[in-house]
């Protein structure tokens, strides 16, 4: 019996070796296209889908004189938005010798060894949407500086709450629905929000207890719905209630809207206010509904973000720009400044019932 096994394993080795030979010979005819690979935090959600649409637009533009750029796109499913999955995908791309990797990391430190490995193989590494450790990427395409986003959110909330009669004589308690504690973006925005709340203009709003008033549901849809449901139950008028809520992710904000909508005893919409980051499409219905206290949303142009990221990656690869360049000419977006290997797309975009219909993502 063991002889038979020996024979079979010898056969197996022979087969493997012979196939390797064949494949290596076939390998000689590799194509000369430029491969740009894009990795979102997770797939299956409007925000990253919109970024992808912009990226594809840039690819089409680059390909208009014949096919020179190949675009690869993959990411973890939403319920498994972990570093592990992202690394699996990256390793596959590194093996295929792609030229540019554009990534939005779930965990800025845990992804670093893999990105470093990619760089050591001559791959240009860019981050978009969220940053990794600064030493493992060639460029970070940032949507809006974190202060800008925090400013947009806090200003929108302050305006809404002031309209509802809150000011320095009548303070408002606010709560925040974040993502996970390892999300670099949300942590940075939260820190900026806290700084802003200390300022005189916004000091009438306060976070009472960070343990319970900052929620961390992660990217999971059900967890977002459950925790936002709990939060809506705590909203209303009075010192022991919460009057203002900010959603920091494009999952949390729509969940706030829908949980308000399905609440049995809706807190008086003239006494509370909600806003947050979201794609316009995801919260359009709530903004237009007069009985819903979610009256505005904050975002940046995500299609442009994807577009700019691909443009930057392409130009870095071609050598048109270098990591120490001062600006990039990004086709239809015009010139953008580069500072310390960071490109900033623009300002935060606040949308409300007046202009929400202008967006289709």
Tell me, residue by residue from 89 to 128, as one string, x for binding to another protein by CB under 8 A and - for no binding.
x-xx-xxxx---------x-xx-xx---------------
d(C-alpha 124, C-alpha 109), whole Å: 18
Nearer Cβ to another protein (96/329): 96
Chain residues 201-240 in contact with another protein, contact rule CB under 8 A: 209, 211-212, 215-216, 218, 220-222, 225-227, 229-230, 232-234, 240
165 binds another protein (CB under 8 A): no
Residue 311 C-alpha from the chain's centroid = 18
Interface with another protein (CB under 8 A), residue from 6, 8, 323, 332: 8
Considering only the stretches 71-79, 139-147, 320-328, 344-352, report the one whose residues sit in contact with another protein under the rule CB under 8 A: 71-79
d(C-alpha 218, C-alpha 50), whole Å: 20
Chain residues 265-324 in contact with another protein, contact rule CB under 8 A: 265, 267, 281-282, 284-285
43 binds another protein (CB under 8 A): yes
Interface with another protein (CB under 8 A), residue from 12, 134, 191, 195: 12
Chain residues 174-193 in contact with another protein, contact rule CB under 8 A: 180-182
56 binds another protein (CB under 8 A): no
- Binders of another protein: how many residues, by CB under 8 A? 83
19 binds another protein (CB under 8 A): yes
Query: Maximum Cα–Cα distance for the chain, whole Å?
Result: 90
| Minimum distance from residue 350 beta carbon to another protein (Å) | 20
Considering only the stretches 84-92, 146-154, 301-309, 332-340, report the one whose residues sit in contact with another protein under the rule CB under 8 A: 84-92
263 binds another protein (CB under 8 A): yes
| Minimum distance from residue 170 beta carbon to another protein (Å) | 20
Considering only the stretches 6-14, 157-165, 188-196, 349-357, report the one whose residues sit in contact with another protein under the rule CB under 8 A: 6-14
d(C-alpha 318, C-alpha 128), whole Å: 19
Residue 143: exposure state from Cβ atoms within 10 A (0-12, 13-18, ≥19):
buried
Those residues with Cβ within 8 angstroms of residue 17's Cβ, 6 or more apart along the chain or in another chain: none
| Minimum distance from residue 227 beta carbon to another protein (Å) | 7
């Amino acid at each position: 019996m063991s002889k038979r096994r020996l024979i079979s394993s010898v056969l197996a080795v022979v087969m493997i070796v012979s196939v390797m030979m064949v494949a290596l010979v076939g390998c000689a005819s590799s194509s000369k296209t430029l491969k740009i690979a894009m990795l979102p935090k997770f797939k299956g959600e409007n925000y990253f889908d919109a970024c992808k649409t912009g990226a594809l637009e840039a690819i089409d533009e680059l390909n208009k004189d014949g096919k020179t750029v190949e675009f690869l796109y993959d990411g973890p499913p939403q319920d498994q938005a972990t570093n592990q999955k992202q690394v699996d995908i990256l390793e596959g791309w590194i093996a295929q010798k792609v030229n540019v990797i554009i990534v939005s990391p779930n965990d800025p430190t845990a992804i670093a060894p893999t990105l470093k490995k990619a760089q050591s193989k001559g791959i240009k590494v860019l981050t978009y949407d969220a940053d990794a450790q600064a030493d493992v990427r060639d460029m970070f395409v940032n949507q809006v500086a974190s202060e800008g986003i925090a400013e947009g959110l806090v200003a929108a909330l302050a305006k809404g709450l002031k309209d509802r009669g809150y000011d320095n004589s009548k303070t408002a308690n606010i709560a925040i629905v974040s993502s996970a504690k390892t999300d670099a973006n949300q942590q940075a925005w939260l820190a900026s929000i806290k700084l802003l709340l200390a300022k005189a203009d916004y000091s009438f709003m306060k976070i009472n207890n960070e343990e319970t008033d900052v929620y961390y549901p992660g990217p999971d849809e059900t967890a977002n719905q459950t925790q936002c449901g709990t939060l809506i139950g705590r909203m209303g008028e009075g010192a022991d209630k919460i009057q203002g809520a900010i959603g920091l992710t494009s999952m949390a904000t729509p969940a706030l809207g829908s949980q308000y909508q399905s609440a049995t005893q809706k807190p008086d919409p003239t006494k509370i206010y909600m806003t947050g980051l979201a794609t316009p499409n995801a919260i359009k219905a709530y903004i237009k509904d007069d009985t819903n206290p979610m009256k505005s949303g904050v975002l940046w142009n995500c299609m442009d973000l994807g577009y700019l990221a691909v443009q930057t990656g392409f130009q870095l690869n071609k050598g048109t720009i270098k990591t120490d360049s001062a600006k990039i000419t990004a086709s239809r977006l015009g010139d953008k400044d580069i500072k310390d290997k960071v490109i900033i797309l623009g300002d935060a975009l606040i949308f409300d019932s007046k202009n929400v219909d202008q967006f289709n993502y």
